[in-house]
Amino acid sequence: MIHQCNFRFRLNDTTRVPIEDCELFFHDHLHSSHNAIDELINHGSAILEQIRSQGMWLRGIKHKVLSIGHTLGLSSTTLQMIERRLNEDWIIFCVGCMTFIVSMFFFYRFWKS
C-alpha cells in the first residue's frame, strides 16, 4: 500500500505545510519494516544454531558407528576404506550440485533471451 502525500499550493496561500499525516505514515511504515527485518534476523540465527547442533549430533553418530565397527572386529583397513568412500561420495555430491547450479543458470539465461 503506497500512500502519496501530494498537496497543491497556490500563490499567496497560507504557509502552513500539513505533513504530519505523511510523517506518521512513513514512521509507521519504517517501524514495521524494522520489526520485519529483526524477525528475519532472529529466524536466521535460530536456523543457524539448529544447523550447528545437528552437525555436532551427526559427528557424534559418526564416531559411535566407527566405535561399533571396532567393537565388531572390523579391521582398520576396512574402516579407512569406508572413510575414503564417504569422502569420495561427498566430492561427487558437491560436483553434482555445482553442475546443477551452472546448468540451471544457463537454462535461465536461455529461457530469458
Q: What are the tens digits of pLDDT across the range 64-99?
A: 888 888 888 878 888 888 889 989 999 999 999 999
Distance CA 80, CA 70 (A): 12
Q: pTM score, two decimals?
A: 0.46
Where are the domains positioned within the chain? 20-73, 75-113
DSSP for 32-69, please give it: HHHHHHHHHHHHHHHHHHHHHHHHHHHHHHHHHHHHHH
Over the stretch 96-111, which tens digit does the pLDDT of each residue have? Answer: 999 999 999 999 999 9
| Dist CA 107 CA 34 (whole Å) | 37
